[in-house]
A = this chain, B = another copy of it.
Amino acid sequence: MAVSMSHKQKAYQGILQKIRQYMDAQHLQPGDKLPSERELAYTLGAGRSSIREALRAMEFLGLIETRRGEGTFLSTYQSFQTVELLASFILQEKQTRLDLADVIIILEKEAAKLAFWNMTKQDIAHLQAIIYQEADSLKDMHAIFFQCIFKKSNNKLLAKIWSLMYDFLAVEQEISNHKFFYKDLIHMYETKDYQGIETLFEKMILK
């Protein structure tokens, strides 16, 4: 078998990686052309059908754009259409919601900890202001509050995952019960109580 399959991983997943590497190595910009499917197949040592499955995945994500007779190109725009499509599939299974809630708490906790070391007095004051100026809803306030924290965490990926998950949270679903929570967190920043953050969030994990 040409494509190295490390443990059940399908070929197209490996190919995705390789194509990504290729894009990186060649410094491809949006709009640039990718090698032809046949060439990719030869270069990466895979069958053309496997290459195509990988490309379909990328196309589905809006990463590339294929034009018959011309070739495959890096997409110039990030299509968000996919997001909406996916949103329509959101499931209502109970367990998933519980999982989701935990995941969000975990992300918020870690962001709060990462942000800990970058938190200035000004930032703290800002947080304070957020919880006092009444927002439309608790959920909005919560979102703004943590957007701020995620920003200070300096990890955009973490922030992105969070915002995505957060969008899925049913509106009715409670976020954090009381304002005490936010005040407590701010207080920990003020008093440099790193360990306290862990404890504060830990209580909220359901299981």
Contact = CB atoms under 8 A, between A and B. Distances in A.
Interface in A1-18: 6-8, 12-13, 16-17
Q: Place the interface of chain A in its size category.
A: 35 or more
Contact of A79 (B90, B136, B139, B170): B90
Contacts of A100: 80, 157
B13 A167 contact: yes
Copies per complex of this chain: 2
A32 interface: no
Interface in A43-70: 49, 52-53, 56-58, 60-63, 68
Interface of A: 6-8, 12-13, 16-17, 20-21, 49, 52-53, 56-58, 60-63, 68, 77-93, 95-96, 99-100, 102-103, 106, 110, 114, 117, 135-137, 139-140, 143-144, 154-158, 160-161, 164, 167-168, 170-171, 198, 205, 207
A119 B171 CA distance: 34
Contacts of A89: 61-63, 78-79, 81
